[in-house]
Amino acid sequence: MDTAQRSLPKHQMIWNRAHQAPDGDISSIETYLLFLRVASDVLSALQVHLGQYGLSDGKLAVLMLLSEAPNYSMTPSELAQQAGVTRGTITGLLDGLERTRLIERVVHPKNRRMLLIRLTPRGLDLLNQVLPQHFQYIRALMANLSEAEKQQLLVLLGKLDQGVVALR
């Protein structure tokens, strides 16, 4: 069976071109295109899932990071670095989280250039409500894979990631 049959028309085009190309390496392209499609499906499903709680991936990350920080507090820069986004992005996420009272911005006692971001009780409550649901969501998503298949997938994803890293 030809997996590319189920692809988007835009992928079908690449597919056609690859067949015409001198050194097409069809299986790499087929696998890559399927990966792209599954990745964007998984990502957009996650967005929908978290959207039900008014959260995004980035916002959830901020909440989780704060929940394990001493005093439920960190600076914006620390959050940016640990969540893997820029400081500019963190500013935007914090604006949203502050608007819904899930975090507070307080002045840093030691250094007036910095802020301390503190998880509010309301934020902690939401997190404790969301996380179990989130685990269940992940379990449902992976339900079609056996234990052995998950281990396989782990290995293969590792190799793919090595390829990405090598191109950086």
List interacting residues with DNA (CB under 7 A).
Answer: 55-59, 75-77, 84-96, 105, 108, 111-115
Residue labelled with tokens 């502050």: 98
- Decide: 109 and 91 in contact? Cβ < 8 Å: no
Pure H helices in the chain: 9-20, 26-51, 57-67, 76-83, 87-99, 121-141, 147-167
Token output for 157: 């994803």
Of the two residues 20 and 111, which places its CB atom closer to a second copy in the complex? Answer: 20
- Decide: 116 and 107 in contact? Cβ < 8 Å: yes
Which option in DNA, a second copy, none does residue 142 bind, with CB closer than 5 to 8 A by kind? a second copy
Of the two residues 94 and 130, which places its CB atom closer to DNA in the complex? Answer: 94
- Decide: 73 and 116 in contact? Cβ < 8 Å: yes
- For the CB of residue 102, give the shortest distance to a second copy in the complex, in Å: 16
Q: Judged by CB under 8 A, how many residues of this single chain contact a second copy?
A: 73
Show contacts with a second copy in window 75-94 (CB under 8 A): 82-84
140 near a second copy (CB under 8 A) = yes
**Hey, what amino acid is at 49?**
H
- For the CB of residue 43, give the shortest distance to DNA in the complex, in Å: 10
- For the CB of residue 115, give the shortest distance to a second copy in the complex, in Å: 19
147 near a second copy (CB under 8 A) = yes
- For the CB of residue 33, give the shortest distance to DNA in the complex, in Å: 15
Residue labelled with tokens 């001198």: 22
